[in-house]
Each structure stands twice: as C-alpha cells, then as structure tokens.
C-alpha cells in the first residue's frame, strides 16, 4: 500500500503516514456520494442545520488537539492554528443558519391563467480539492455550504497537510453527518483531480489553490459541464497614501504580510508607499520586523514558522536574489535557516526597498515572508501599478481622505478590498477574486449560491 509521508516543515521529522486512496476506492466513494445524494437532499434544512451546529461544537471540543496537528503538518505557529480552528468553525456556524434561509419567490404572471414559482435545489455531489496553508478553514468553507444546501461532499486535501482534514471529517461522522454525505480521499492531486473531473457522479468541482491548477481543473470539467468554484492565487497591493495614519498602516502591513509566514492568498505581496511618507514608513516597518521571532510553531514565542517545503523555499529565495540583482536593497532579513537534507526551510522576514516593476517579486506571488516596497507619486499611478497584474483577489489601502478612499475603492479590480484594514476575512463576507484569482465566492450569503440550482415552475390552466 502506498502512503503519503506527512512531515513537520519545522524539523523534517515524519509526523504520520497516510494511506493513498486507490483509484477503486475513489470511484467507490464517488458512487457512494452520488447515490446518497438522493437521501441527503431530502433531509430538511433544520435537521441539516442542527447537524452542522453539532459538527462545529465537536470541533471546538477538540480545538487544542486539532491545532497541534495543524502546526505539526503545516508549520504555522500554534496561536495561528488555534485561530484557524475558530475561523473554520465560523464558516460552519454561518452556513448552519443559512441552511434555513434558502428562500424561493413567486413572480407575477403576465396572465391570470398562470402562476410562477421560483425554487432552489442542491446541485448534487460536490468534489473539493484544498490547499495546505489553511487545511481546516479551506475545507469547512466548502463543506459547510455544500452540506447546508443538501449536497453530498468529498474532499481531497493537500498531500502536505491531510491530517487536519481527515480529523474534521471523522468528527462530522461522530455527530451524525452520514459517512456517505461527507468523505475524504487522499493522494496526488493530479491523479485524484482527474478522477473527480472525469466522473459523471460529480456535479461540482470546488478548488482552492494555485491559478495554473485551477485552470486545468476548469478545462477538465468542461467535458461534463460541471459547476466550478475557483479560489486561486493572489498578488495583493498594499497602498499607503501620504495622509495615512502611519502607525496604523505599519501595524496592518505586519498582519497582512507575515500571517502564516506570508503563506496566505491575500497576503500583501507589493507595498506601494507615496513618496513623501516612504522613509518614515520603511524605518517603522524595519523596527517592527526586527521584533518577529522565527522558529518552531509549537514554541509559544514563535511568530514566523517555516515555509512549507523546499520548492517554495527556492522560489522565495530566487525572488529575493532576482530583486537584489536588479537593484533592490535589503532593509532587513535575507537570512535563511534551511537544511534540505533534514527537510526544514526557514526564511527570516525580509524587507526590500527600491523595488521596481521589472523584478519577478512584483509579478509572481511570493507566498513567503518577504515585503517588497516601491513608491508612487499620485494615486492614479498607484492604481495603475496595483491593477497591472492578472490577479484580482485582495488589495489594501491606507488613507483618511474620503475622496482618495472612494476613488481607490472604485478603481481597484480586486474582490476583497481593505480600507485601513489589513485583515478583512470573515465568514459572513463573500471571499473571492476577480480576473485570474478565481470564480465564485465563499462565505456570506453569496457563498451558498454555488451549491444550488435555480428552477421555476409555471402553472397554467387557472
């Protein structure tokens, strides 16, 4: 039997081996989820809501244990793992309520002889593929609305971090969500992804991960016209206008950049500071970055854990080297503690200045603790720089001028915009991107629609 060897990115040590699902096991699970959909969709919304609430409560009972496993397999600091468990259950809590608010409507007919009624029904078996950086929240952000809508659900977590997702699915079964309604399979993404997209049993693919993989899944889903939801890559600009509250902007750039060692899809990837404020901003950021503690996520003083693997480490180091070769200056950082043979990869928080647009770091998602700073003259130039990317997930700006703030909100082509706010994510808001950052939204009232078909009934003969 082949297995996934889950290792700790802080030490390289083996955490646990997870059996790889065979093709037969995946096909069997898909058929089970497809067949059980006919039963699960009949369960009334209030019962589905109660089961979701029980799931959330059961996860909270195991919060510390789940968080520790999450840190062991992802490397993120324990405090962040604990926060992610709360974030993950907040999606379940939200959709436990939204399950009871799937309303229809009537439409005034054009003749007394007719009545028109609009209703919604679940799309069917939903197949999800999730990333390693938020192994709990990225799964519940899909499972909760799917189950709330009456869909059955199967997930393949990232090979780096399957343990958290496996445990969450086990807890769902413990509270009475039927095994056939929520399943987990494990293995190599390309292989299982193809089984998902080729299967006639699957009516929807929901994916969170890199844009290239998302594009491939969309292509492979076309043959059977599957619904798709895509939460893809980002390259967030962080704009600081001359009138910004400097302390607030620095406080929030630290959160927006260094959460999960910069490995989040909405991390600030480019900082754009108006020229007159640049020196003060850079000085304050340098002071704050110097206080960050790098280390094993299980140690309570750790604020920056390792990056996930050698491939990611190499990409980040190459971006730093490319930038410095093209004229960027290192304000602080650019220290590494890595041992490829041992299997751990730490990058100390690094700040670059005098960054320019021809540098790779200004075009390619970094997914690491590196903060490149460039400057702009006026807000029109800031908008032009910010929008000059295929991505459109998150953008941030700091200003107290309502005219500047309103202009930036209107002109920035991003699905999530933080105005004096570097931490916009919430289960009650519709998370998602424009352009090549994705399709659809997760969270908010908008996050249920992707799991529903709309139908209308026209009754004649009155």
Ligand X SMILES: O=C[C@H](O)CS(=O)(=O)O
Indicate whether 130 belongs to the interface with ligand X (CB under 6 A): no
Nearest approach, Cβ of residue 142 and ligand X (Å): 11
- From residue 135, how far is each of 66, 114, 132, 165, 388 by CA, in Å? 11, 50, 5, 6, 31
Instruction: Please calculate the CA angle 216-87-291 and round it to the nearest 5 degrees.
Output: 100
Phi, psi (deg, nearest 5) at residue 397: -150, 150
Query: Tokens 């962040």 label which residue?
Result: 80
Phi, psi (deg, nearest 5) at residue 187: 155, -170
416 binds, among ligand NAD, ligand X, none (CB under 5 to 8 A by kind): none
Among 274, 425, 433, 438, binds ligand X (CB under 6 A): 425
Nearest approach, Cβ of residue 177 and ligand NAD (Å): 22
Give the span between the Cα atoms of 399 and 389, in whole angstroms: 23
User: Of 139 and 331, which CB lies nearer to ligand NAD in the complex structure?
Assistant: 139
- Does 265 qualify as catalytic in the annotation? yes
How far is CA 55 from its chain centroid?
Answer: 21
Indicate whether 94 belongs to the interface with ligand X (CB under 6 A): no
Burial grade of 377 (CB within 10 A; 0-12, 13-18, 19 or more): exposed
Give the span between the Cα atoms of 267 and 234, in whole angstroms: 8
Can you read off the two tokens belonging to residue 218?
A: 């969309």
User: Of 199 and 264, which CB lies nearer to ligand X in the complex structure?
Assistant: 264
Q: 391 pairs with which residues across the strands?
A: 435
x-or-dash string of contact with ligand X, 372-411, rule CB under 6 A: ----------------------------------------
Can you read off the two tokens belonging to residue 451?
A: 């799991």
x-or-dash string of contact with ligand X, 26-65, rule CB under 6 A: ----------------------------------------
- Contact residues for ligand NAD (CB under 6 A)? 129-133, 138, 156-159, 189-190, 193, 208-210, 213, 216-217, 231-234, 265, 365, 367, 393, 433, 438
Indicate whether 266 belongs to the interface with ligand X (CB under 6 A): yes
Among 99, 265, 361, 452, binds ligand X (CB under 6 A): 265
216 binds, among ligand X, ligand NAD, none (CB under 5 to 8 A by kind): ligand NAD
Pick the catalytic residue: 73, 98, 151, 265?
265
In sequence order, which residues have a C-beta less than 8 Å from that of residue 241 and are 6 or more positions away?
274, 277, 379, 382, 397, 398, 399, 401, 404
x-or-dash string of contact with ligand X, 343-362, rule CB under 6 A: --------------------
How far is CA 339 from its chain centroid?
Answer: 28
Indicate whether 419 belongs to the interface with ligand X (CB under 6 A): no
Nearest approach, Cβ of residue 72 and ligand NAD (Å): 17
Helices (H), 203-309: 211-221, 246-258, 278-289
Residues found near ligand X in the complex (CB under 6 A): 133-134, 137, 264-266, 425, 431
Active site residues: 231, 265
């Amino acid at each position: 039997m082949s297995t996934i060897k889950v290792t700790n990115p802080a030490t390289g040590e083996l955490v646990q081996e997870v059996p790889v699902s065979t093709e037969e096991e995946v096909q069997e699970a898909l058929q089970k989820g497809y067949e059980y959909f006919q039963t699960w969709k009949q369960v009334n919304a209030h019962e589905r809501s109660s089961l979701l609430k029980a799931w959330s409560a059961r996860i909270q009972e195991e919060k510390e244990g789940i968080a520790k496993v999450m840190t062991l397999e992802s490397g993120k600091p324990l405090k962040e793992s604990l926060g992610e468990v709360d974030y993950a259950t907040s999606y379940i809590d939200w959709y436990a309520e939204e399950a009871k608010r799937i309303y229809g409507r009537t439409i005034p007919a054009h003749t007394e002889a007719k009545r028109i009624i609009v209703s919604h029904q679940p799309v069917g078996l939903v197949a999800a593929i999730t990333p390693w950086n938020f192994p709990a929240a990225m799964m519940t952000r899909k499972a909760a609305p799917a189950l709330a809508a009456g869909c059955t659900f199967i997930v393949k977590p990232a090979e780096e971090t399957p343990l958290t997702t496996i445990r969450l699915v086990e807890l769902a079964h413990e509270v009475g969500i039927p095994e056939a309604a929520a399943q987990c399979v494990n293995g190599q993404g390309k292989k299982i992804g193809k089984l998902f997209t080729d299967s006639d049993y699957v009516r929807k693919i929901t994916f969170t991960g890199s844009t290239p993989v998302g594009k491939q899944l969309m292509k492979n889903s076309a043959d059977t016209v599957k619904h798709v939801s895509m939460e893809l890559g980002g390259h967030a600009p962080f704009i600081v206008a001359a009138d910004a509250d400097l302390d607030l902007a620095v406080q929030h750039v630290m959160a927006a950049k260094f959460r999960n060692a910069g490995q989040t899809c909405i991390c600030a990837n480019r900082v754009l500071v108006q020229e007159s404020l640049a020196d003060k901003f850079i000085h304050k950021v340098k002071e704050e970055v110097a206080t960050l503690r790098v280390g094993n996520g299980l140690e309570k003083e750790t604020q920056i854990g390792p990056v996930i693997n050698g491939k990611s480490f190499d990409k980040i180091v190459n971006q730093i080297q490319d930038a410095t070769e093209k004229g960027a200056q290192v304000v602080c950082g650019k220290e590494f503690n890595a041992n490829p043979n041992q299997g751990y990869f730490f990058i100390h928080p690094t700040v670059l200045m005098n960054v320019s647009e021809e540098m790779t770091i200004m075009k390619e998602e970094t997914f690491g603790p590196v903060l490149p700073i460039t400057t702009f003259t006026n807000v029109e130039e800031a908008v032009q720089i910010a929008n000059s990317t295929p991505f459109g997930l998150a953008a941030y700006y700091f200003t107290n001028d309502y005219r500047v703030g309103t202009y930036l909100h209107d002109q920035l082509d991003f699905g999530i915009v933080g105005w004096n706010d570097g931490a916009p994510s919430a289960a009650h808001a519709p998370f998602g991107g424009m352009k090549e950052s994705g399709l659809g939204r997760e969270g908010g009232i908008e996050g249920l629609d992707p799991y529903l078909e709309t139908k209308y009934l026209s009754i004649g003969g009155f």
